[in-house]
Structure 1
Amino acid sequence: MTVRPPLASGLADTIVNDIIAGRYLTNAPLPSETDLATESGLSRLTVREAVKSLAAKGVVRVEQGRGTFVNPSDSWSVLDPVLLLARSNRDGDRLALPRMLIEARRVVEVAVAELAAARRTEADLADMEHALRGMRSAAAVADVAAFVAADIAFHQYVLDAARNSFITSLFDPLSRILQLTRHQTSAHEPVREHAIGHHQQILDAVRAGDPAQAGRVMREHMTQTEQDMDIYVLDPGAAMLALRAGDSEVAPRRRARG
């Protein structure tokens, strides 16, 4: 059963789409709450909630006594998946922000892999093996959603094995965006094959307790991911649009930490 997003979230998405389409221009005012309520058929309270959420994400700014105005797209949050789509479409280069995400992952996950190799337990290794089996099983039947879930779970288990709550806090906001970008690339069979091979190498290095090797193969995985994106992803906006906020979430299971 499809779960409908809250009314305020749906209206916020509509406003963002209208901004992308050029209906509301940068630094131009949005219609009043009354006008937005009349047009959308929603209450003014719902409109107020939608505008408040957009203001929190930097899409609009509320100027007391003057109204609500559209901010430049470079002021929008880059940690919101819908806004990632919007900025990519609006800025012209649809791969620019996904490339930035890979850069951020390279900075964080290479170090995470090194820490995981030094600190992993047998339970961590079992979790990683479980996720990798899930990737192989999903790939065998071309189940992209299950493959992405297992892929993201694998990386979460490597992050768990690093045992650094500060790094976890830094990486958590990227998880939803990572889900979207992995759907873009993992829809292609060669990409799934590449990912399985690299994840096996990461697991082997972490199991061997070799931080240098773990960091090296994680870096190679990031490089391969970027190359696959350039080769196979022609329209990342279309993939992200299909997975907008309100759709299914990827939630890898987590062990309780003592």
Structure 2
Amino acid sequence: MTDPAAAQAPTTVLGASTPRTPPARLGVAVVHDLVEAIVTGEVQPGAVLPPEGVLSQTFGVSRTVIRESVKRVEEKGLLTVAQGRGTSVNEASAWNVLDPVVLSALVEHDDSLGILDELAVVRGVLEGSMANAAAGRRTAERTAALQHALDHMHETIDDFDAYSQADVDFHFTVMEQSGTRLAPTITRILFDRARESSRFVGAPAAEALRLTLEEHQAVLDAIEAGDAAGAQRAMEHHIAEAWARRRLPTARD
């Protein structure tokens, strides 16, 4: 007779009782599931993964696929493979959170919105510094390019998707004009992953879009005036306020 409790017990990625067959590109699917299991806490830091043979049966793939998948997850900082001691899960401080797979998993399972809150802070610091630099490198041509980007936001305010892209274009124009290389790359990675989440994008009302336009205008005005500190403050203020307007309350708030 089947134990009702056992029948209702949830199965996990690493504890499934029957082999599972991932879709095409098996290695990619295994990497995704391993990263998700670690990011969500299904497998805690310090835990040792099952042997290669067990993982092979669990995922329904060859040992070669498992070996290569574990190696890729190790490269993302989530695992440490030690000869004779097995494969252990690392503390979150060792994870490469800029890795697209890791960052996507963090955002996807961010029930408290803590990751998105942190992302807004980091974006504010990075984009504020880039606005500062852009003000110091202003030219008539660059200012005209920013004005063109802002004009496009005005033109598309009644089309949310087009407006959102115009908003992104304005920010990327500031990044390009900053003349820096590392900060734009990091910001783009964070921003691209965050935009995959509906909780990050939200559904701002018309008044919120109008306020966003005003905040972008303040950034442009400061850059055009060569006010580096003012441009930095305006960008930091905009990013913080725009996220506060989009952010939905959670059970933990």
Pick closer, same or farther for the CA change 1:104–1:19 going to 2, 3 Å: closer
Pairwise CA distance, 1:62: 0.7
- Long gaps (5+) in structure 2: 1-22
Pairwise CA distance, 1:221: 0.6
1:46 aligns with 2:65: yes
Check whether the contact 1:73–1:87 (CA below 8 A) recurs between aligned residues.
no
C-alpha distance after superposition, 1:142-180 (max 9, x if no partner) = 22xx5444333322211221223xxx2134123122123
Pick closer, same or farther for the CA change 1:138–1:68 going to 2, 3 Å: farther
**Equivalent position SS for 2:61:** coil
Pairwise CA distance, 1:224: 0.5
Pairwise CA distance, 1:119: 0.9
Q: How does 1:82-231 map to 2 (within 5 A)?
A: 82-84=101-103, 86-87=105-106, 94-136=112-154, 139-143=157-161, 146-164=162-180, 168-182=181-195, 184-190=199-205, 191-230=208-247
Please tell me the residue identity of whatever aligns with 1:125: T
Aligned residues: 225
Pick closer, same or farther for the CA change 1:218–1:67 going to 2, 3 Å: same
Please tell me the residue identity of whatever aligns with 2:37: D
Pairwise CA distance, 1:14: 0.9
Please tell me the residue identity of whatever aligns with 1:175: R
**Equivalent position SS for 2:160:** coil
Alignment counterpart, residue 33 of structure 2, candidates 14, 18, 22: 14
RCO greater where, 1 or 2, for CA within 8 Å and sep 6 or more?
Answer: 1
Pairwise CA distance, 1:135: 3.9
TM-score, scaled relative to structure 2: 0.72
Alignment counterpart, residue 69 of structure 1, candidates 81, 88, 100: 88
C-alpha distance after superposition, 1:33-69 (max 9, x if no partner) = 3333333233433322321221122211111122211
- Long gaps (5+) in structure 1: 236-258
Pick closer, same or farther for the CA change 1:130–1:41 going to 2, 3 Å: farther
**Equivalent position SS for 2:88:** strand
TM-score, scaled relative to structure 1: 0.71
**Equivalent position SS for 1:204:** helix
Q: What CA distance in whole angstroms lies between the structure 1 residues aligned with 2:186 and 2:24? A: 20
Would you tell me which structure has more helix in proportion to its own residues? 1
Structure with larger Rg: 2
Please tell me the residue identity of whatever aligns with 1:28: A
Q: What CA distance in whole angstroms lies between the structure 2 residues aligned with 1:137 and 1:46? A: 50
C-alpha distance after superposition, 1:122-144 (max 9, x if no partner) = 4433443443345445542222x
